[in-house]
Structure 1
Amino acid sequence: MISIKEVTTKSDLKAFVKFPFKLYKDSKYWVPPIISEELKTFNKKENPVFNDAESRLFLAYKNGELVGRVAAIINWLEVNNQTLKKMRFGWFDFIDDLEVSKALLNQVETIGRSHNFTFTEGPVGFSNLDKVGVVTEGFDAIAPMVTWYNHPYYAKHYEQAGYIVEKSYSESRFPFENVKPEFFLKAQELIKKRYQIKALKFTKTEEVMPYADKMFDLFNESYASLSSFVAITDIQKEYFKKKFISFINPEYIKFVVDKDDNLVAFAIVMPAFSKALQKMNGKLFPFGFRHILHAKKHSKEVIFYLIGIHPDYQNKGVHAVIFNEYYDTFKEKGIKTCIRTPELEDNYAIHQIWKHFNPEVYRRRKTFKKDL
């Protein structure tokens, strides 16, 4: 017998956050989140996304044992500004039991119907900066910090519940030795002269901050044409600045500005924290910080987290300027592997940017939808 319980107490929320630690305790590839950060994600006082979104969290029990979880999410900016009557869901984890997954999805679908929404889609987060997609290929590689990982049986559960594929994503990687400077060295000099642009170098986090709001504005502009894009609000910018920028080595943040100091392109790369997070097993204290700081300083793998180019400068080779900057930084730090976070398979512009580096697609993931 499956029973569903809505999360209403702190202990319920802790059980929700910690459930995957049990489900993936024997996995070499799952990367634990930081428990305190996950708890803050669902704290309405901490996370400003709740100014424009809401969530209800559910736990599934079988014979008294916790066997699944799901977050049912409504992003009201998406619903009202895009007139997209979509019920989101994420943080969807479950044992290999179809009754469990269907019972959890039924909670999501019921909420969606109560609002007269037309479909439900997941797994997704609150916004475009959250994790996305269920892994369908490439289970034998460690998951980057900014993605979800799951058991191979997950996709079957979506299909059995009447869901169809909505979006497809790929993740790729390439050895740094694939990066040949002749592909961009001369080009970036010509592009800088032609468009009167220059790259900014940072050595301290406080140097980045004056440009951070401009970066989020440019992120909104450069990604606006992608499907289901939801813009970042001003209050969310402050939250993301505090949450992410201190994590990132300032030399891994690259900005390109025009002659009037307007931001025309940016890229954010992060050290690979996955192995550090596995050692931490969800806990920052007493020694978790040490693992994070060691990875920040010494990781030989980097994750390309975000890259954005102003629409007026797209297809003009501006990415060559960014790559030239990273080439020098990575060479100096002895970087061995470059990894890209999930990218929509139909985002051909972004795939063109990377083609010279001969990337290998090592994982695919999808979101699933169901009409209500």
Structure 2
Amino acid sequence: MAEAVIEPVRNQDQLKEFVAFPWKVYKDDPYWVPPLFHERMLFFNPKKNPFFEHSRVQLYLAKRGGEVIGTIAAIINDRHNEFQKEQVGFWGHFECVNDQDVANQLLRTAEAWVRDQGMQAIRGPMNMSTNDECGLLISGYDSPPVAMMTYNPPYYERLIESAGYVKAQDLYAYIIATNLYEENVDNLPRKFLQASRKLLQEGEITIRTANLATFEQEMVRAKEVYNAAWSHNWGFVPMTDHEIEHLARGLRPFLDPDMIFFAEDKGKPVGISVAIPDVNENLLRIKPKPGASMLRYAYDGIRFLWDRRRHQPRLFRLLIMGVVEGYRSRGIDACFYVETAKKAFAKGYKQCEMSWILESNPMMNRIIQRLGGKIYKTYRIYEKTL
């Protein structure tokens, strides 16, 4: 069989091929959630995605006989290297037919690109950073991914490990069924209820829901907490103002202010919890198709919004929960869990996914396990010395 030809993406036609290729890989997979094609095109547009303001990316196509058989992005995240004091490149957006030679060519191409720019190691998959979707699914293939989580065929694990990659870090997704507590917040673990009541009775820390009427100001508060509370986590990269604004604009149509909580000390934000409905359930129902025309964009967009109006997801994802140093062990996290549960029970949610949780964060893993969470999906970040 002829060797694959690796082409750098240089124009819009090639980008369309890059974005459309997953529809080929997953055409018979009932659990793959097709994205909105136009949204993916915007994601890779350096003028639209603020990630490109501080990072360099080169996309590649693998072709055989003119047909796309694989994709990869080679990434240098200068903000990551500055913050983490590393010289590491990344790869992401890896999709491939079940062919080890093609996978090797794609990965070696990404490795060469980052090595030529002085990088000493490479990690992946990162799509594009830990602030986006990341990690390769290595267990839990029997259900669709939730919003903003990755999905891939089982054979990707073999392709990547056979190319010389080893584990850098595992990320866990926990699942909790609301009927575990009979949809009654009083059935939550006693220690959480006691800690929450104590915090609220003391009155020094206030807990409130988000106010979308002052959305821009709320995002400033969220960024302040996020960049402070997560700063010591493995792989963390602080978000820029433009990045947090971009993320917030993308999420705003799906945000439920009742499921977003701030903890404040005399008006100063010291903790945040964000839960989002699993809009992947809606995408899986409408099954968007590839195509860059405005007609396709409008058609899939309207169908998605209509489905959102008609069907509330059964599952929500606890996307973010953090408390800044100096305020931990005060019961703020317990209060977040209790207040989130109250809202979720009232809204009729049946399941909660808490993700993703670093394997190197034993405290968070213990807390979620005490709440009854069970690991049901595991994602892996790989690395390789160059």
| Same fold, judged at TM 0.5 (above) | yes
Q: How does 1:243-258 map to 2 (within 5 A)?
A: 243-258=250-265
Displacement of 1:293 after TM fit? Answer: 5.4
**Number of the residue aligned with 2:85:** 83
Q: Residues 1-372 of structure 1 correspond to what in structure 2 (within 5 A)?
A: 1-179=3-181, 180-181=187-188, 183=190, 184-194=192-202, 196-202=204-210, 205-258=212-265, 260-282=266-288, 285-292=298-305, 294-295=307-308, 298-372=312-386
Q: Please tell me the residue identity of whatever aligns with 2:286.
A: M
Answer whether contact 2:138 2:379 (CA < 8 A) is retained: yes
Distance 1:3 1:287, change over 3 A: closer
Q: Which runs of 4+ in 1 moved over 4 A?
A: none
Bigger drift between 161-170 and 279-288 goes to 279-288
Q: Does the Cα contact within 8 Å between 1:271 and 1:295 map onto a contact in 2?
A: no
Whether the aligned pair in 2 keeps the contact of 1:208 and 1:250 (CA below 8 Å) is no
Distance 1:274 1:198 in 2: 33
Measure the CA separation in 2 of the matches of 1:100 and 1:206: 50
How far does residue 287 in structure 1 lie from its aligned partner after superposition? 4.9
TM superposition shift of 1:86: 0.6
In structure 1, distance between residues paired with 2:15 and 2:133: 19
**CA distance, structure 2, for counterparts of residue 243 and residue 104 of structure 1:** 30
Structure 2 residue matching 1:151: 3-state secondary structure: coil
Deviations 1:77-121 (A, max 9, x none): 122343311111100010110111011011111112212211110
Structure 2 distance, partners of 1:328, 1:158, is 42
Between the aligned partners of 1:48 and 1:315, the Cα distance in structure 2 is 35
1:256 deviates by: 1.4
Residue 207 of structure 1 deviates from its aligned partner by 4.2
Structure 2 residue identity aligned to 1:313: Y
1:243 maps to a residue whose letter is: G
- Asked whether the equivalents of residues 140 and 377 of structure 2 are also in contact (C-alpha less than 8 Å), the reply is yes
Question: What per-residue deviation string (whole Å, max 9, x for no partner) do you get for residues 23-80 of structure 1?
Answer: 1011111111221111111111101111100100000012322110001111111223
Quickly say closer, same or farther: Cα 1:340–1:65, change in 2 above 3 A: same
Change in Cα spacing, 1:89 to 1:295, as seen in structure 2 (3 Å) is same
Local SS of the residue matching 2:58: strand
Q: In 2, distance between residues paired with 1:304 and 1:289?
A: 26
In 2: Cα distance, 1:287 partner to 1:228 partner: 35
Distance 1:111 1:20 in 2: 23
Q: Which range is displaced more, 318-327 or 131-140?
A: 318-327
> Matched residues in 1 for 2:136 and 2:39: separation?
21
TM-score normalised according to structure 1 size = 0.94
Aligned-partner SS, 1:316? coil
- Distance in 1 (CA, whole Å) between partners of 2:118 and 2:106 is 19
Aligned equivalents of 2:161 and 2:368: distance in 1? 33
Number of aligned residues = 370
C-alpha contact 1:171 1:363 (8 A) present in aligned 2? yes
Distance (whole Å) between structure 2 residues aligned to residue 327 and residue 150 of structure 1: 31
- In structure 2, list runs of 5 or more residues that go unmatched: 182-186, 290-296
**What's the secondary structure of 2:299's corresponding residue?**
coil
Q: Return the offset for 1:193.
A: 3.6
- Structure-2-length-normalised TM-score: 0.91
CA contact (8 A) 2:316 2:351 kept: yes
Say if 1:167 and 1:366, in contact at 8 Å, map to a contact too. Answer: yes
Unaligned runs of at least 5 residues, structure 1: none
CA distance in 2, matches of 1:79, 1:322: 33
Q: Is the 8 A contact 1:178 1:357 kept in 2?
A: no
Root-mean-square deviation (CA, aligned residues, Å) is 1.8
Cα distance, 1:216 vs. partner? 1.1
- State the match for 2:184 in structure 1: none
Partner secondary structure for residue 158 of structure 2 = helix
Q: Deviations over 1:165-208 (max 9, x none)?
A: 11111111011123424533332121234461111134x62244
Q: Distance in 1 between matches of 2:195 and 2:236?
A: 31
Quote the Cα distance in structure 2 between the aligned partners of 1:364 and 1:58.
Answer: 27
Q: Secondary structure of 1:285's match?
A: helix
Tell me the distance in 1 between the aligned counterparts of 2:78 and 2:279. Answer: 32
